[in-house]
Copies of this chain bind each other. A is one copy, B any other.
Amino acid sequence: MKKYYSITELTREFGVSTRTLRFYEDEGLIHPERRGRTRLFRPADRALIQEILRGRRIGFTIAEIREIIQVYKEPPGEVGQLKLLMKRVDEKRDELRQKRKDIDDTLAELDNVEEACLTRLAEIGVGT
């Protein structure tokens, strides 16, 4: 396994800009090492970036992503906080299930759109 990745290496791999990765660092989502001022990303940082981008794709805000990351690093120590967190996790799950249903519905709809297109193409093809 590789020891370090440069910032551009990762931007190429994930299709994001350097600005984006620095932004994530500013936001406290990642903490790459430094050699001088230059950032050195380790495999763990890379994995974290993958997670962040996954969260982004499904519409999580930076704050939400940060929150999930925090829990891994160190789950809250106070009972009230823990329970609140669990409630939020539960809500998130409901939201995601809804979203999955929306996606399935939309996929079906896109099938219809495609069919409409094919029909239209056939019509035109016949007409000429």
Contact = CB atoms under 8 A, between A and B. Distances in A.
| Copies of this polypeptide in the complex | 2
B55 A121 contact: no
A106 B75 contact: no
Interface residues of A, number: 41
Contacts of A110: 68, 89, 92-93, 96
A12 B102 CA distance: 20
A107 interface: yes
A102 B65 CA distance: 14
Interface string A49-82: 0000011011100000000100110011101001
B68 A109 contact: yes
Nearest to A100: B103
